Amino acid sequence: MADSPSSASAGRDRLRELIDAVLDEDNRTLPDMAGDAYASPWYFSRQVTAGAGEPPVALRRRVLLERAAWQLRGGATVTDTAFAAGYDSVEGFARAFARAYGRPPGTDVGAGQSARDTHWLPAPNGIHFHPPMSLWVADEPSRRPADEVSALMVHHDVEDTRALIDVVKGLPEEEYRRVRLPGWTVLPWDGAEESVAAVLSTLVWTKEVWLASIEGADQPVRGADDPAALLARHDAVAPRWLAAVRDIARRGAWGDRLVDALCEPPETFVLGSVVAHVLTYSAHRRLLVRSLLRDAGVEIDTGDPIDWLTRRDAP
């Protein structure tokens, strides 16, 4: 992800080494993979199998078949998909695909199935292809029940953000964009947040970009930040963000890992930590906006979730 703290990553883990060596586009054979890891093929295969529970060649073949299924579902041709997956012939790819999925490539999938259901294959390690060019590492069946407090915090976050955007619709343009915190940055990769406009825009953008990563969408284009446009962006992303968090809780997938292979080095994000990250910095920014609004002479509430819940539950 472009907006993640890639430069702050501390070292490389086993999973990242697997991505680099096993799934590198140029490594089509076991000797290729082992050479990238500066190991003999025998030793490399033994280490990967012990760590991932799956031989490297089988791991690569399965993940590339999952990518192929996703590409076919998106309209790619069987021929292009076959060669992108490393097969020397369409016939060989078709046989491998049919063995894996029980249907020929290009066949329509069943109605009502999610995109993930249609391209994930059984895996001993939870490692799966996640579009557009990442991996998803599913956790063990959850021993982490959905947390009501977390659900309330997520819901409060989106409603409070919307309330703040509603408030600034009445703020003069010059006050909305006035630099009140020269040089202020919350997180270095998000850039300067010196005004009410900048802080609110980043509040909405954070959910847009993380949701794209979770959904497997392309990097979104950052939209306009005037209050009307910002409200429209928020109203578009908020229900999808709530649905994504509810889905994580329903599946008990807080420990699932999304591995972004486009980062250098590849970066691992635990879903629970992504939600915690968004909530932490969103709470900070919402309080920061209130401080800036008071500086602009606007009377504003405290943003306390206790008050929000009291109002929400009032008869």
- One pLDDT digit (tens) per residue for the chain, 315 residues: 444 443 333 444 555 665 667 777 777 888 888 888 777 888 888 878 877 778 888 888 888 998 999 888 888 899 999 988 888 899 999 999 998 888 888 776 554 455 556 688 887 777 888 887 777 777 655 444 446 788 889 999 999 999 999 999 999 999 999 999 999 999 999 999 999 999 999 999 999 999 988 888 888 889 999 999 999 999 999 999 998 998 888 888 888 888 766 566 667 888 999 999 999 999 999 999 999 999 999 999 999 999 988 887 665
Domains and CATH numbers, the chain: 6-113 (1.10.10.60), 148-313 (1.20.120.450)
Q: Is the pTM for the entire model greater than 0.75?
A: no
Residue 315: exposure state from Cβ atoms within 10 A (0-12, 13-18, ≥19): exposed
Q: Hey, what amino acid is at 281?
A: Y
Alpha carbons within 13 angstroms on the beta-carbon side of residue 145 total: 3
Q: Which residue has the tokens 């030793």?
A: 43
Q: Quick check: bond before 305 cis, omega within 30?
A: no
CA–centroid distance for 184 within its chain: 26
